[in-house]
Amino acid sequence: MIYLHKYIFIIFIILLVILLGFEKNETVYPERVYAVYLAGEKIGMVADKEAFEKYIDKKADDIKERYQVEHVYHPATLDIKQQLTFQANLLSNEEVFNKLEDPLTIDGYQIKIFNEEEERKIYVTQLEIFEQSVRDVIVSFIGEEEYEKYLNENQSEIKRIGSRIENIYLEDNITYRKIRIPVTEDIYISPSSLAQKLLFGPDKQEESYIVKAGDTIESVAFAHEISPEEFLISNPEFTSKNNLLYESQEVLIGMTDPQLAVVVEQFVIEDVKKDYQEEVRYDKEKTIGYSRTIQKGEPGVERLSRNVRTINGVVAFSDLLEREEITPAINEITVRGKREVPHVATTYGWTWPTEPGWVITSGYEYRINPFTRRRELHEALDIAIGYGARIYAANNGIIHHAGYHSSYGYYVIIRHQNEADQYTLYAHLSRYIVTQGQAVEAGALIGYMGSSGSSTGPHLHFEVWVGEPYAGGYRVNPWSVLR
């Protein structure tokens, strides 16, 4: 019996060890779960990461339809980490999804456009959308046909006059990367809508206008504080600012705010009018004030070859390469009474401030400033020929000031001492050859064309003031005295 009890005790001990061993094995292996964190804060645990992500994807069918994508993902601030735990307090996929406060995301691209002044971000679902929108922007400035000819290297040969595009590029720096985009961002899914954003900015302003009798494209553009080139962008049915408008015609007025800087470099050969010179002969036998034209002036024609660079349709640089006289100009000869060195401007004495061969690169009009990229009224004429071209006094007067300014560069101001108290300002010179207080007459050489100061290329920046500049005076349209 003693041996029997001994065996029973041993069997009992073995069974107890086995039972305790099984209980220990149940607690040795923890459960594999997934902790969900939102912006670093734990919001719950789910049993299966893949199942949770599929649940998110299924719940966002409307987002898929809106952005035409196959999958929608968790927020960018969401992090799902695997954990091992002995006590898993699991939540359902729906319970955790309902705790998501940050926006869901979709696959796409972040485009960065940046220059020295600012950085802009654009989001697209496909990279091709941005590429096509950039093409649409370029076409809006140079036309579909010309762009296709440039791309296919199929531009017509210039036989007498015409132009050829040498290069097209974006001045901005552009980078892109594939990311998951929060659906709260402006995400573009079509090239046309993005092209409008790149042309007109985030706040497009466009209105209709009914043409009145006597309106021209230039006058309508000026009245609405836009450039003629901007008018053509909003109204692509017009091919030139010289196209005619008719009364009661409806046109669109849109203020562009380009988000890209499209640079077009062209070689241009054109025939331009060569103004005749006014030759004055003084007769000592006639009294002061006598004036009689003995030979009528007739303009000639010059063929000019030049390199032209535009930024978003606005001429930023024009350099004269060659000049050929096609038809000579005939000078106008006027006889006037007793000659003396004049100090006072005359109403008939206004002359063109440069030598022949000029082109107006920017008129007295509203435009996007190529430096600040802000809209402003350009209260001057920009007249381009080439570096070193001669600059003349536009009328009789006294040199009021000659010096250097960070924006104007080397510049000269002439006070014309007439009843209207007019002044003229000549800026961006390469150098001037006059001194303060010196008397000059109309047509006197005062300096040479340059690109000093804030300038995109050699040209004369010509202003007309009533009253002293920056001391109570105000600018007027130079054409009011030159025409």
Least confident segment among 9-18, 163-172, 217-226, 287-296: 9-18
CA angle at 229 for the pair 380 and 462, rounded to the nearest 5°: 10
Q: Which of 367, 394, 387 is nearest to 379 (CA)?
A: 367
Residue ranges covered by each domain of the chain: 2-102, 104-162+171-203, 204-256, 262-482
Task: Tell me which residue of 429, 425, 411, 458 sits closest to 316, measured CA to CA.
Answer: 458
| 34-37: Cβ within 8 A, 24+ apart | 34/80, 34/81, 34/82, 34/83, 35/80, 35/81, 35/82, 35/83, 36/78, 36/79, 36/80, 36/96, 37/78, 37/79, 37/80, 37/81
What tens digit of pLDDT does each residue of 23-34 get? 444 555 788 999
Helix (H) or strand (E) holding 482: helix 479-482
**DSSP code, position 96:** H
In what helix (H) or strand (E) does residue 323 lie, and over which residues does it extend? strand 314-327
Amino acid at 317: F
- What's the confidence (pLDDT) of residue 291? 81
Cα 132 to chain centroid, rounded = 18
Q: Are 204 and 254 in contact (CB under 8 A)?
A: yes
pLDDT (tens digit, 9 = 90+) per residue, 100-135?
888 899 999 999 998 877 899 999 999 999 999 999
Q: What is this structure's pTM? A: 0.76
Contact 314, 229 (CB under 8 A): yes
pLDDT digits over 395-425, tens only?
999 999 999 999 999 999 999 999 899 999 9
The chain-wide mean pLDDT, for the chain, equals 90
Mean pLDDT across 185-190 = 95
Fold of 204-256: Membrane-bound Lytic Murein Transglycosylase D; Chain A (3.10.350)
CATH of domain 262-482: 2.70.70.10
